[in-house]
Amino acid sequence: MKKHAVIAGASAILLFAAAGCGGQSETVADIDPGVAVGSTNADPTTTDATATGEAPAATEQAKPATPPAVPAKFVPPVRGLAEVALTKPVTKRVGNEIVTTITVKNTSTTHSIVGLKVDEFWYDKAGEPLTGDTFRHGKPLQPGEIVEVTLRTPVNPKMDRNQYLFVHANGDIKTTVVPKL
């Protein structure tokens, strides 16, 4: 009986020492006072193979070492006017939709573009707005990164011309049309 009290006391001391160091993630509910200190067995009548100098069991496998993840580098966002290069928009009719594809590149070498948004507006011959579509890039457009913008608009027989508006979360965007990216 005295032996179990000593083991329980030693277990409690190790638990508090480990919790204070942050080395273990065990809680009081995880520790069985009937198990020997350092033992991985749940049965108090069995002995720990590593404590007796025996080789570890075949079920225990060493986990391969994985390299630590490289932390993401913060690139400050553009405040105010941003500049992008884009290819000439390609507009095709696909079924009952007009599909416009534009390739956009952030030409900045030091700043990202956060909240890139491209709006397409379609007008009739009188200049009245008909319909359009919006593209939003979900993450910051990093310096030199290229993204393909696809806009899908339902076909309307009155469609005559379209217009694009490029903006970002912190201002406007100046566009430059280039032959290819």
Domain boundaries, the chain: 1-55, 82-177
Cross-strand partners of 93 = 98
Task: Say how far apart CA 150 and CA 158 lie, in whole Å.
Answer: 22
Residue 63: the pLDDT is 67
Q: Which two three-digit tokens encode residue 28?
A: 């009081």
- Rounded to 5 degrees, φ, ψ at 11 are -65, -40
The Cα-based distances of 53 to 35, 48, 56, 98 in angstroms read: 18, 9, 9, 74
Question: What DSSP state is assigned to residue 95?
Answer: T
Q: How far apart are CA 177 and CA 130, in angstroms?
A: 26
Residue 102: what residue type?
I
Helical (H) or strand (E) element with 15: helix 2-21
Using alpha carbons, select from 159, 179, 180 the residue that is nearest to residue 93.
Answer: 159
What pLDDT, on the 0 to 100 scale, is given for residue 25? Answer: 46
| pLDDT at residue 60 in the model | 57
CA distance 31 to 8: 9
In order along its 181 residues, the chain shows pLDDT tens digits of: 555 555 655 555 555 555 555 544 444 445 455 544 544 544 545 555 445 555 555 555 666 677 777 777 788 999 999 999 999 999 999 999 999 999 999 999 999 999 999 999 999 999 999 999 999 999 999 999 999 999 999 999 999 999 999 999 999 999 999 999 8
Q: Given 1.10.1740.10, 3.30.70.360, 2.60.40.10, 3.40.50.720, which CATH number is that of 82-177?
A: 2.60.40.10
Output the pLDDT for position 26.
46
Any idea what DSSP says for residue 179?
A: S
